[in-house]
Amino acid sequence: MREFLVSFHKVVSDDTGHDHRVLQQSVLVRADSNAAALVEAKTLFCRQRGIGDWSLRADTCDIAEIADLAA
């Protein structure tokens, strides 16, 4: 099983019109694949925020593998 860090960001504009990605939350999940990790992280994000769709609070999500726990 592998471990992934999934980060959710919202894109906001500053007063000069420049866009910035603002971290909303990071979720650490264990899964067999990137796809499974994204599904799990999105589910956790929604549950913790009490929403039905993660894109209501974030515009993007990034995934990074942290470690292979079987190694």
Of 66, 70, 57, 9, which is closest to residue 34 (Cα–Cα)? 66
- Residue 53 burial (CB count, 10 A): 10
Where along the chain do its domains lie? 2-68
> SS3 for 14?
coil
At residue 23, what are phi and psi to the nearest 5 degrees? -65, 125
- Look at the alpha carbons of 21, 27, 28, 32 in this order and tell me if their dihedral is positive or negative: negative
* pLDDT tens column, 14-63: 999 999 999 999 999 999 999 999 999 999 999 999 999 999 999 999 99
pLDDT, position 57: 94
What letter represents residue 13's amino acid?
Answer: S
pLDDT, position 1: 85
Q: What pLDDT band is residue 69 in, cutting at 50, 70 and 90?
A: low
Q: Does the domain made of 2-68 have the CATH classification 3.10.20? A: yes
